[in-house]
Every structure is written in C-alpha cells, then in structure tokens.
Amino acid sequence: MQGFSGFPAGKQPVVRIPNTFFTELLPVIEDPAELKVTLYCLWILNHKQGELRYTRLAEIEADHLFMNGLGGADEDAVAALRRGLEMAEARGVLLRVKVWPTASGQATGEAEDWYFLNSEHGRAAIDRIRRGELHRLVEPLPEDVNLQAQRPHIFTLYEQNIGVIQPMIAEELRDAERTYPQNWLDDAFREAVDLNKRSWRYIRRILERWAAEGKDDGRDKRDSAEDDSYEALKRRYVPDEYKDIIEH
C-alpha cells in the first residue's frame, strides 16, 4: 500500500462535489472502477468552462497518473475505464453524447463519446444539442463535428416501464439492443406492461421466444387467436417426446 503524507498546508484548490454524492451515490457504488471514474469526472468537469463542459475517453486515457491507479491483475486500465464510464452512465451520473468528426457535412472519422455530468448545466447542454442549437453554444469546438445525443433506446424503455437501471443489468440491456430489432423491444416491453409483468427477466423471455419461434405483427405467435386450437395446446403443454403418440 502506498502511503499518504497528508494534505499540504496553505490554501489548496478545491473541487465542488454535490452533497448527494455522499448521501445517494457513495453508499451504493460497489465497483472500484465506477467509484474512481465517477470521482475523476467530478474533478475534471469541475475545471471545465463554457457551455460544453465535457470529457472524452481519450482525454482521460491521457492522464497517466489516474490511469495507473485503474485496472489490476485481471483487467487492464483501459478496460476498467470503459467499464467505469459505462456503469456511471447506466447509474445516471454521466450523460453520453456520440460525436462524429465531419467535413462539409460528411463523416470523416470514427465516432467517439463525450461525457457530460448529469447536472442542471449538463442536462441543459444536452437539451440544446438535441434541439439543434449547437451553433449557439459559445464554447468553440476543437474541430468540425456532428453531435448526436446518444442514450440507448432500451435504457429509456426500461426506466419508463420498470425503474432505475442497476449497473449490473446495463450491459445485458445493451446486448439485447444489439441483438433484437427496436420494434421487438418496444413490443416486448408493451406486452409485459399490459400483463403487469414489469421485469426484465420476463421481457427477455419474450424476446428469446420470438427469436426461436418467430414473431408475427408484433405479437407472439403463441398468443395469437389460434392458441386455443388443439395443435396449439399440444405444442404448449405436451413434451416433445410424447407428441407423436398422442392422437386426436
């Protein structure tokens, strides 16, 4: 363990950390990477000026002093940083904006993520970006860029229909969004709400069933009007090994 000689005498620069960090976040953050990344973002964003107070993955990676304290024997620092950012976003501490460098309206490079603090100032900046008011922001951009507020659609569905997203489930939600069409996600959440089955486990089973058995017009085929037929009931309740020996 590396020792600490104590805070030096005299006036030192301070970082403003909202009281809610200590009352609502610190008691529930369990992952060291999430905690370190959250504190680092509070620190670095506190030093930003202007309308666009954001940080970038590359900016954090360039801070070798911070990066040396991330990761461990089973995980490198960059992977720990990405995981910490993802968990902080899933918890709602950070807001993410996807950025494409552009020239003459055409994308010229790979997209990157910018992170804003989920504060009144950060939310206002994101809202202005969504309304297309980027050109009115007084902070000059480092290059010609095209910004798009980026938050996984499935996160919004989950929060609107189930509740707060826990970091442990965030990656599972991202996997589902990569795996299934958006209209399937919409329909699966809607079906779960209609049946008062507001749980991700139930919604996941719906999606898996549609993937295995097919989906028709936004409805599970097993929930169609034919479900009361003899064949439908046999498919549902009779084990496969006995279906061939059961006669009408």
Residue 189 inside a domain? The answer is: yes
User: Is residue 188 predicted with pLDDT exceeding 80?
Assistant: yes
92-96, 156-160, 228-232: least confident range: 228-232
Domain assignment present for residue 2? The answer is no
More confident residue, 237 or 24: 24
Query: Count of domains in the chain?
Result: 1
Own/partner long-range contacts of 62-71 (Cβ < 8 Å, ≥24 apart): 66/36, 66/40, 69/36, 70/33, 70/36, 70/37
Least Cα distance to 143 among 107, 176, 168 occurs for: 107
Give the pLDDT score at 204.
94
Mean pLDDT of 19-33: 92
The verdict on residue 236 lying in a domain is yes
Residue 245 lies in a domain: yes
pLDDT at residue 135, rounded to an integer: 55
- How far is residue 13 from each of residues 8, 16, 47, 69, 185, measured CA to CA in Å? 11, 10, 10, 22, 48
Choose the most confident range, by mean pLDDT, from 30-39, 114-123, 215-224.
Answer: 30-39
Highest mean pLDDT among 149-153, 168-172, 212-216: 212-216
Whether residue 45 is contained in a domain is answered as: no
Mean pLDDT of 45-54: 85
Pick the range with the lowest mean pLDDT from 106-110, 163-167, 211-215.
Answer: 106-110
Q: Which range has the worst mean pLDDT, 79-93, 166-180, 221-235?
A: 221-235
Q: Cα–Cα distances in Å, from 28 out to 1, 49, 118?
A: 25, 30, 17
The pLDDT of 104-114, averaged and rounded, is 66
* In a domain? residue 213: yes
Question: Is 217 a domain residue?
Answer: yes
Inform me whether the pLDDT recorded for 138 exceeds 50: no
Q: Has this prediction a pTM greater than 0.75? A: no
31 within domain boundaries:
no
The Cα 226–Cα 210 span in angstroms is 16
Cα–Cα dist 99/52, whole Å: 13
pLDDT score, position 108: 57
Determine the structural domain holding residue 183 and report its residue range: 152-248
Per-residue pLDDT of 199-227, as tens digits, reads 999 999 999 999 999 886 544 444 444 44
Quick one: pLDDT at residue 6?
Answer: 84
